[in-house]
């Protein structure tokens, strides 16, 4: 049997392998990070809410972690960092602040995690950006032990951000300055006929007085504008200086003579309505002690206070007269200055003027608008359907009646509807210059401020505009949605069947109310309306509602396919073949 030489090369390699293995074991034993990384899957990380949610232009994340017993080396340190990554590209979208954790024997600042286990919890709010919608949330951990560091395997903790509040529509409600136009307008004129003492004869000079001339002019204008006469009231008096019974009869006679005088004026103008007895209401009042007292009080008679005391002292008219006549020094002055104006008939003619026809108004507003009142011009604008025609009429109102805030306001209202926001603001400013208490204009300036992106200024205007109409509350409701005050939004939008009210109800947790409101709204069959109903279906786990409405939405607007694919509202349906067929 031959002697064999040992294989020295093989022995050498075996020795090296053994030494390397020993060194590896020693190194591993000396570096607890490897063990921590190996057991990292036992750590429970949670994210709330999940998916994340956009509210008030911000996203709030709450990340917590719980470490099991014998996981965290007593001298180890770990930095935990929540990271958002784009779900499609993997690019980092947002890195949040790191949380430093230290073992119970480790030196330095940080939250201690015991060898027997421990946890951390951190909340952070950041401004929302569109890149945060379709993301994956991970926890990235790096461990450190003495001079050694090790990146642990990232742990996914959530997906996506719900951005449904961004569906809020810009349907702010500006308010028109309303007209007070009526189909008939009241017209009236008043005059007095004065009489000589103890007579009811209407003197010719009385009919030539300025107020009676105005009555005659009124009747003439009534012919031109076709007045409809409603009534003529005649109230007659006697002065308190004679027998009471005679004065009562005298007041009645004066009512009759005044009636005859007015009938004569109607007859002169050939107005048949003025001849009818039923038109006249005669009210003879007898002695006018109330008028006597008022005129004495307004006079400069030296003993007027004593006279007024006498009037109040006696209930019997004859005793009053005798007591006053006993004041011989002043009675002559009373007879000359106070008593004559009390012998009178007060006449008021009431009529109604029929408004101009719509055709007449539409003609005059273009040919001679200065003939029209502000009420007539504002009303005329309502007769047009075309926005440019309305705008032209409101501009006429603002020009002809510049001192009335409504013309300027209503010009601005139309400009808002035409999306000419800067021009509208200038008109609303003019409205407030005309009347700085005009709450309607304040509401409209709030609308402009919101559309220009200044929510704080808009709210200031809305607060000042409260009381101008329910539109103000609705507009505040839009700001409530943007500010994540969904309960307030629902309250302020109460009574409105609009997309925004449905959105507010959904965000406030009332899916049934939201569905009913959207179904009753003008957006029921729009792309936005269908999409919101699809979200309601997703939230209520109603697959058919979700699919049917989403299909209708993308048929109306194909860009919603891309939106739905990354919308976290449909996160749990992304693997469903029916959903996929709709959005692909």
In whole angstroms, what is the distance from residue 199 CA to residue 340 CA?
A: 12
**pLDDT for residue 58:** 97
Chain Cα centroid distance, residue 426? 20
In whole angstroms, what is the distance from residue 349 CA to residue 362 CA?
A: 31
**pLDDT for residue 30:** 63
The CATH number that applies at residue 433 is 1.25.40.10
Average pLDDT over residues 454-465: 98
Lowest mean pLDDT of 6-10, 221-225, 264-268, 302-306, name the range: 6-10
Residue whose pair of structure tokens reads 């559309």 in the numeric block: 451
Give pLDDT tens digits for 199-255: 999 999 999 999 999 999 999 999 998 999 999 999 999 988 877 678 789 999 999
Q: Average pLDDT, whole number, for the chain? A: 92
Quick one: tokens of 365? 């507003």
Among residues 436, 468, 500, the one where a domain terminates is 468
Give pLDDT tens digits for 129-160: 999 999 999 999 999 999 999 999 999 999 99
Whether residue 350 sits in one domain with residue 389: no
Closest CA to 142 of 87, 108, 99: 99
Asked, for residue 267, whether it belongs to a domain, the answer is yes
Give pLDDT tens digits for 8-66: 444 443 443 333 333 334 344 468 999 999 999 999 999 999 999 999 999 999 999 99
Asked, for residue 405, whether it belongs to a domain, the answer is yes
In this structure, is the dihedral angle defined by the CA atoms of residues 488, 494, 499 and 503, taken in order, positive or negative?
Answer: positive
Asked, for residue 397, whether it belongs to a domain, the answer is yes
Quick one: tokens of 220? 């003439």
Lowest mean pLDDT of 68-77, 102-111, 219-228, 312-321, name the range: 312-321
Whether residue 292 sits in one domain with residue 434: no
The string of DSSP codes covering 298-362 is: HS--TTHHHHHHHHHH-SSHHHHHHHHHT-HHHHHHIIIIISGGGSEEEEEEEEEEEPPPHHHHH
Whether the full predicted model's pTM is greater than 0.85, yes or no, is no
Give pLDDT tens digits for 489-524: 999 999 999 999 999 999 999 999 999 999 999 999
Give pLDDT tens digits for 328-375: 567 778 888 888 999 999 999 999 999 899 999 999 999 999 999 999
Among residues 354, 377, 402, the one where a domain terminates is 354
Average pLDDT over residues 300-309: 77
Give pLDDT tens digits for 445-457: 999 999 999 999 9
Q: Is there a contact between 265 and 216 (Cβ–Cβ < 8 Å)?
A: yes
As a residue count, the chain comes to 584
Asked, for residue 484, whether it belongs to a domain, the answer is no
In whole angstroms, what is the distance from residue 171 CA to residue 417 CA?
A: 10
Average pLDDT over residues 283-311: 83
In terms of residue numbers, what domain contains 190? 184-354
Whether residue 204 sits in one domain with residue 119: no
Give pLDDT tens digits for 165-195: 999 999 999 999 999 999 998 999 999 999 9
> In sequence order, what are the beta bridge partners of 345?
193, 236
Whether residue 250 sits in one domain with residue 145: no
In the predicted model, is pLDDT for residue 2 greater than 70? no
Quick one: tokens of 333? 């002055």
The CATH number that applies at residue 134 is 2.60.40.10
**pLDDT for residue 194:** 96
The CATH number that applies at residue 316 is 3.30.1330.60
Residue whose pair of structure tokens reads 């956009």 in the numeric block: 54
Per cent of the chain over pLDDT 70 is 93
Average pLDDT over residues 288-297: 86
Asked, for residue 581, whether it belongs to a domain, the answer is no
In whole angstroms, what is the distance from residue 157 CA to residue 254 CA?
A: 100
């Amino acid at each position: 049997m031959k002697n064999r030489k040992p294989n020295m090369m093989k022995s050498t390699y075996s020795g090296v392998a053994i030494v390397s293995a020993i060194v590896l074991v020693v190194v591993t034993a000396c570096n607890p990070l490897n063990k921590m990384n190996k057991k990292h899957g036992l750590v429970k990380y949670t994210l709330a809410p999940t998916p994340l949610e956009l509210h008030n232009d911000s996203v709030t994340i709450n990340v917590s972690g719980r470490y099991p017993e014998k996981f965290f080396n007593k001298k180890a340190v770990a930095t935990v960092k929540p990271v958002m990554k784009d779900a499609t590209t993997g690019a980092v979208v947002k890195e949040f602040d790191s949380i430093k954790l230290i073992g119970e024997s480790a030196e330095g600042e940080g939250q201690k995690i015991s060898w027997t286990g421990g946890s951390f919890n951190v909340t952070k709010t950041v401004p929302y950006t569109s890149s945060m919608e379709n993301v994956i949330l991970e926890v990235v951990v790096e461990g450190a032990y003495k001079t050694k560091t090790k990146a642990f395997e990232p742990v996914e903790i959530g997906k996506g951000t719900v951005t449904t509040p961004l569906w809020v529509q810009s349907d702010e409600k500006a308010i028109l300055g309303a007209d007070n136009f009526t189909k008939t307008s009241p017209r009236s004129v008043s005059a007095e006929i004065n009489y000589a003492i103890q007579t009811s004869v209407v003197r010719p000079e009385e009919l030539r007085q300025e107020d009676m001339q105005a009555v005659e002019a009124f009747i003439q204008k009534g012919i031109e504008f076709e007045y409809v006469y409603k009534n003529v009231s005649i109230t007659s008096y006697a002065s308190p200086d004679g027998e009471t019974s005679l004065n009562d009869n005298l007041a009645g006679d004066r009512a009759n003579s005044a009636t005859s005088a007015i009938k004569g004026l109607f007859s002169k103008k050939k107005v048949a309505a003025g001849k009818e007895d039923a038109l006249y209401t005669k009210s003879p009042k007898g002695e006018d002690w109330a008028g006597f007292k008022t005129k004495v009080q307004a006079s400069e008679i030296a003993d007027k206070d004593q006279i007024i005391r006498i009037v109040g002292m006696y209930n019997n008219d004859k005793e009053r007269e005798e007591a006053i006549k006993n004041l011989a020094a002043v009675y002559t002055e009373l007879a000359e200055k106070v008593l004559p104006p009390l012998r009178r008939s007060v006449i008021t003619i009431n009529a109604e003027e029929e408004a101009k026809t719509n055709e007449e108004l539409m003609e005059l507003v273009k040919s001679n608008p200065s003939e029209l009142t502000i009420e007539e011009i504002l009303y005329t604008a309502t007769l047009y359907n075309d926005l440019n025609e309305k705008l032209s009429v409101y501009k006429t109102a603002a020009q002809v009646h510049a001192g009335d805030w409504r013309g300027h306001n209503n010009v601005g209202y139309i400009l808002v509807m035409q999306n000419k926001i800067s021009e509208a603001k200038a008109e609303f400013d003019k409205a407030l210059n005309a009347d700085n208490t005009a709450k309607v204009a304040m509401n409209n300036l709030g609308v402009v401020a919101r559309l220009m992106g200044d929510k704080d200024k808009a709210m200031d205007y809305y607060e000042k505009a409260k009381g101008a109409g329910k539109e103000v509350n609705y507009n505040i409701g839009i700001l409530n949605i943007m500010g994540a005050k969904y309960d307030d939004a629902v309250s302020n939008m109460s009574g409105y069947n609009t997309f925004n009210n449905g959105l507010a109800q959904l965000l406030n947790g009332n899916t049934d109310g939201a569905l009913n409101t959207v179904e009753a709204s003008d957006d029921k069959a729009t792309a936005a309306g269908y999409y919101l109903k699809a979200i309601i279906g997703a939230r209520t786990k109603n697959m058919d509602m979700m699919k049917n409405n989403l299909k209708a939405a993308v048929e109306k607007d194909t860009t919603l396919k891309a939106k739905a694919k990354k919308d976290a509202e449909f996160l749990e349906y992304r693997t469903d073949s029916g959903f996929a067929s709709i959005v692909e």
